[in-house]
Amino acid sequence: MPTGIYKHKSCSKKTKEKISLANTGKKRSFLMKQNISNGRKGKNSGKEHYIKLSKKFKGEGNPFYKKKHSKISRIKMSEWHTGKKKPWVKSPTKGKKLTISHRKHISEKHLQNREKYPNWKGGVYPIHLRIRDSLKYKLWRESVFRINNWSCQNCNKKGYVEIHHKKSFSSILEELKKGEGIENLYEKAMNYVPLWDIENGQCLCEGCHKKTDTYGKNTYNKPCLVTMV
């Protein structure tokens, strides 16, 4: 029997009902599902089809219309979402702190395979963000937190604290640019000693950090001093 004899032919309502009754209670095989998915690839149903579906499942057409989950189901859902019961998550490093050597190995592996990532644009990422995302900067932050005991140095508040550069990060980078040039700036910044000075870092809470002169827009809101001749 030649294939495709019923192509571009629509079945009547009676034949559709007969097909649906014949297929009820039957499970499709893996090959059949694969053939259906391959046949539907690259096809769009169109806006009219999606509008019909949205109208069909709105209000009383929705099978969950005016239905609420029971207390038991809510508890189960909360347990699944909080991560207490997730059988598919079987990470050996879950709840464990990675060593510095392991973290360095991961960062080097990501740098080697960076061209394979879909968001890679050929090194357009700004240098100041690249430095802040590096492992060396993260370790520097952790050491500053540890020395200051994770507390604000102005009001002694503990909890959420931020890192404040006594000498601003941008001014150190400008000094590096003027002194050693722009070429290979990232490699030069990794070996520039003033950038990694732990004494230059300070822990401050969000309120105290916003009061500093070098926080965000405060650097741009300073009054301009004009010398009169």
196 lies in some domain: yes
Do 195 and 189 contact (CB within 8 A), yes or no?
Answer: yes
**Distance (Å, whole) CA 95 – CA 87:** 16
Query: Given this model, what pLDDT does residue 223 score?
Result: 46
193 lies in some domain: yes
Q: What is the largest CA-CA distance in the chain?
A: 100
22 lies in some domain: no
116 lies in some domain: no
Query: Given this model, what pLDDT does residue 152 score?
Result: 92
Within 8 A by CB and 6+ apart from 222, the residues are 213
Domain that holds residue 202: 100-111+126-219
106 lies in some domain: yes
73 lies in some domain: no
Query: Given this model, what pLDDT does residue 126 score?
Result: 84
175 lies in some domain: yes
**Distance (Å, whole) CA 215 – CA 194:** 20
Query: Given this model, what pLDDT does residue 204 score?
Result: 93
Query: Given this model, what pLDDT does residue 142 score?
Result: 92
Query: Given this model, what pLDDT does residue 89 score?
Result: 55
Domains of the chain: total:
1
Please tell me the pTM assigned to this model. Answer: 0.52
Query: Given this model, what pLDDT does residue 224 score?
Result: 37
pLDDT by 10-residue block (mean), the chain, 229 residues:
56 85 82 84 79 82 81 84 60 73 86 80 81 91 92 89 90 88 86 91 92 71 37
Query: Given this model, what pLDDT does residue 83 score?
Result: 63
Query: Given this model, what pLDDT does residue 214 score?
Result: 81
Query: Given this model, what pLDDT does residue 112 score?
Result: 82
Query: Given this model, what pLDDT does residue 121 score?
Result: 76
Do 128 and 176 contact (CB within 8 A), yes or no?
Answer: no
120 lies in some domain: no
Please report, to the nearest 10 degrees, the dihedral formed by the alpha carbons of residues 202, 204, 210, 215 taken in order. Answer: 20
